[in-house]
């Protein structure tokens, strides 16, 4: 204790006194706790003074290790009025001790420009060969899809870098928003609703199953813009969608002009108010078009398939799904809309001659995390002969 700085020594004495009052124990038990706490604090002062290192980086966010200089920010996140009902506050001595706890890793969630927006704490670091706990996640900037993106980054770090077979977390019974988000990013409830325990096992292969089962149709978006670089990245990925004889007939028109998006919402949704609202509030409206007369055709103009011109819709559907999965992998949300006035849309966005509009895809960072609708099982869908 005497080796601690005077101010910290006083805070530590107060913490230990409070712990003894609130956690009745024998003299021997308290002495053991006190000794372990002080040892962890000495180690924590050393570990917490090391330079932060990046654990994993995404399109908008990165997760890095925390240091002692982050303590005021971490305290502010815990004491934020929106977080107080769900997140406990760690006094300074306890936080320093946890820096020295090899079983725990405290992290900062920050934007790519270095602006911190939240905290993330992993536990069970000494048994990652068995499992890893996401002990705490708390953000001060909500409504931008950052929570979902952080959870996806945490999953990637846990499974791809650490190699743990299971990631799990808990939440309070009444934190329904968190429970919805955990389900939306692929965590499995470990008990009936309201669920306070969620887990996820390491996906096999390249994680394609995880992307398929966690993607949702998103109908509400934050106001955050989607960069041209991101749009190009998504289209480059979607270009890998298979097509009829590799004809690659799908094209993409990204509408970002707010006035034009508003016109499409008002003039092209055929009185369908639901679609009008979704389009009007989307940062990007992706108009997916198809080059006519190629998919399903032979070069002499004849059909090889009995489906005739319908095959180009099949190719467009594959491309649209590939695009939406690429967006989901980057933390973006999408929904496919089919009720619209094709001729008016084509005129407003200047679709080139020889192409037709296949589907409209509003795109942006999610402002919701809907649960998955009930799915039919193989016993109903599969026939084996």
Residue 121 reports pLDDT greater than 70: yes
Distance CA(40)–CA(47), nearest Å, equals 10
Distance CA(351)–CA(251), nearest Å, equals 10
Same domain for 113 and 82:
yes
255-259 mean pLDDT: 97
Residue 374 reports pLDDT greater than 90: no
The reply to whether 18 falls in a domain is: no
For 102, 107, 178, the CA distances from 167, given in Å and listed in that order, are: 18, 16, 16
372 or 275, higher pLDDT: 275
Same domain for 183 and 294:
no
Q: Which residues pair with 357 in a beta bridge?
A: 289
Using pLDDT thresholds of 50, 70 and 90, give the confidence band for residue 18. confident
Same domain for 132 and 208:
yes
- DSSP string of 217-243? B---B-S----HHHHHHHHHHHTTS--
**Of 125, 137, 39, 130, whose CA–CA distance to 83 is shortest?**
137
Same domain for 102 and 78:
yes
Instruction: Using DSSP, state whether 303 is helix, strand or coil.
Output: strand
**Of 364, 366, 346, whose CA–CA distance to 356 is shortest?**
346
Residue 26 reports pLDDT greater than 60: yes
Same domain for 250 and 205:
no
Beta strand pairing status for 166-170 and 197-201? Answer: antiparallel
Same domain for 248 and 158:
no
Same domain for 204 and 264:
no
274-299 mean pLDDT: 93
The reply to whether 9 falls in a domain is: no
Contacts 24+ apart (CB under 8 A), 189-192: none
The reply to whether 327 falls in a domain is: yes
The reply to whether 174 falls in a domain is: yes
Residue 181 reports pLDDT greater than 60: yes
- Look over the chain and give the mean of its residue pLDDT values, rounded to a whole number: 90
The reply to whether 23 falls in a domain is: no
Same domain for 209 and 240:
no
The last residue of one of the domains, among 183, 214, 245, is 214
Those residues with Cβ within 8 angstroms of residue 207's Cβ, 6 or more apart along the chain or in another chain: 159
Q: What integer pLDDT is reported at residue 274 of this predicted model? A: 95
Using pLDDT thresholds of 50, 70 and 90, give the confidence band for residue 310. confident
φ, ψ of residue 126 to 5 degrees: the values are -85, -10
248-277 mean pLDDT: 97
List the CATH number of the domain containing 74. Answer: 3.40.630.30
Place of tokens 């192409």: 355
List the CATH number of the domain containing 288. Answer: 3.40.109.10
The last residue of one of the domains, among 186, 214, 242, is 214
Residue 3 reports pLDDT greater than 80: no
Q: Give the chain's domain count.
A: 2
Q: Which two tokens stand for residue 349?
A: 């966005």
Residue 287 reports pLDDT greater than 80: yes
Q: What integer pLDDT is reported at residue 204 of this predicted model? A: 62
Same domain for 205 and 100:
yes
The model's pLDDT over 206-246, given as tens digits with 9 standing for 90+, comes to: 456 777 888 889 999 988 889 999 999 999 999 999 999 89
For the entire predicted model, the pTM comes to 0.61
The H-or-E segment that residue 63 falls in is strand 61-65
Range of the domain at 295: 228-364
Residue 2 reports pLDDT greater than 70: no
Q: What integer pLDDT is reported at residue 53 of this predicted model? A: 93
11 or 168, higher pLDDT: 168
Place of tokens 């992307």: 211
- Within 6-70, where are the H helices? 6-22, 27-47
Using pLDDT thresholds of 50, 70 and 90, give the confidence band for residue 249. very high
Same domain for 335 and 295:
yes
Same domain for 110 and 198:
yes
The reply to whether 86 falls in a domain is: yes
Place of tokens 């007939």: 249
The last residue of one of the domains, among 184, 214, 244, is 214
Q: What integer pLDDT is reported at residue 240 of this predicted model? A: 95
The reply to whether 302 falls in a domain is: yes
Same domain for 310 and 346:
yes
Q: Give me the count of residues in the chain.
A: 385
Q: Which two tokens stand for residue 247?
A: 């004809």
The reply to whether 370 falls in a domain is: no
Question: To the nearest whole percent, how much of the chain has pLDDT over 70?
Answer: 97
Q: Which residues pair with 120 in a beta bridge?
A: 107, 137
Q: What integer pLDDT is reported at residue 97 of this predicted model? A: 92
């Amino acid at each position: 204790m005497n080796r601690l700085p005077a101010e910290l020594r006083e805070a530590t004495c107060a913490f230990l006194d409070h712990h003894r009052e609130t956690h009745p124990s024998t003299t021997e038990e308290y002495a053991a706790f006190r000794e372990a706490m002080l040892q962890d604090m000495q180690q924590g002062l050393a570990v917490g003074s090391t330079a932060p290192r990046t654990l994993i980086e995404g399109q908008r966010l990165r997760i890095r290790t925390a240091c002692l200089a982050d303590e005021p920010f971490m305290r502010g996140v815990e004491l934020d009025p929106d977080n107080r009902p769900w997140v406990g506050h760690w006094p300074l001595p306890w936080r320093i001790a946890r820096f020295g706890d090899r079983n725990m890793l405290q992290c900062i969630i920050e934007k790519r420009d270095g602006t911190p927006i939240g905290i993330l704490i992993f536990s069970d670091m000494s048994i990652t060969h068995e499992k890893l706990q996401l002990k705490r996640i708390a953000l001060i900037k909500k409504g931008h899809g950052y929570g979902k993106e952080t959870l996806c980054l945490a999953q990637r770090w846990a499974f791809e870098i650490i190699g743990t077979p299971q990631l799990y977390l808990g939440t309070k019974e009444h934190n329904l928003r968190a429970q919805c988000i955990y389900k939306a990013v692929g965590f499995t409830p470990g008990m009936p609703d309201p669920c306070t325990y969620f887990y996820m096992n390491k996906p096999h292969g390249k994680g394609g199953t995880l992307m398929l089962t966690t993607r949702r149709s998103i109908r509400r978006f934050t106001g955050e813009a989607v960069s041209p670089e991101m749009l190009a990245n998504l289209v480059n990925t979607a270009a890998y969608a298979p097509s009829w004889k590799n004809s690659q007939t799908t094209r993409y028109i990204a509408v970002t002009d707010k006035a034009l998006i508003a016109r499409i919402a008002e003039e092209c949704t055929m009185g369908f108010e639901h679609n009008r609202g979704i389009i009007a509030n989307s940062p990007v409206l992706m108009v997916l078009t198809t080059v006519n007369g190629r998919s399903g055709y032979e070069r002499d103009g004849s059909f090889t398939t009995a489906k005739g011109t319908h095959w180009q819709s099949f190719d467009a559907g594959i491309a649209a799904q590939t695009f939406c999965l690429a967006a989901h992998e980057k933390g973006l949300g999408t929904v496919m809309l089919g009720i619209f006035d094709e001729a008016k849309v084509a005129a407003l966005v200047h679709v080139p001659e020889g192409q037709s509009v296949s589907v409209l895809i509003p795109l942006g960072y999610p402002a919701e995390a809907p649960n998955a609708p009930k799915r039919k099982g193989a016993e109903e869908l599969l026939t084996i002969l």
